[in-house]
Amino acid sequence: MIIWKIVKYGTGEPQIKEWELFNLNDDPKESKNIASQHPKMLKKLHAMFLKQRLKDK
């Protein structure tokens, strides 16, 4: 199972293009942003983030 992580640096409303995406199985040091190679996963994780953020407000 792949362990994915999205990261956004800075402040403000996160836009999908601002996220960095990492596969922690292959890149535990988070040195290779693979967002452009996995747009569907990035979109899914972005949606999950927005859904969780609504719960946190």
Q: How many domains does the chain have?
A: 1
Q: What predicted TM-score, i.e. pTM, was given to this entire model?
A: 0.89
**Other C-beta atoms lying within 10 Å of the C-beta of residue 22:** 20
- Residue 18 confidence (pLDDT) above 90: yes
- Residue 46 confidence (pLDDT) above 90: yes
- Give the pLDDT mean for 34-50: 97
For residue 6, what is the enclosing H or E element?
Answer: strand 4-7
Going by pLDDT thresholds of 50, 70 and 90, the confidence category of residue 15 is very high
- Give the pLDDT mean for 6-25: 94
Give residue 49's domain range.
4-56
**HSE-up (13 A, CA, CB side) for residue 17:** 0
CA distance 21 to 53: 18
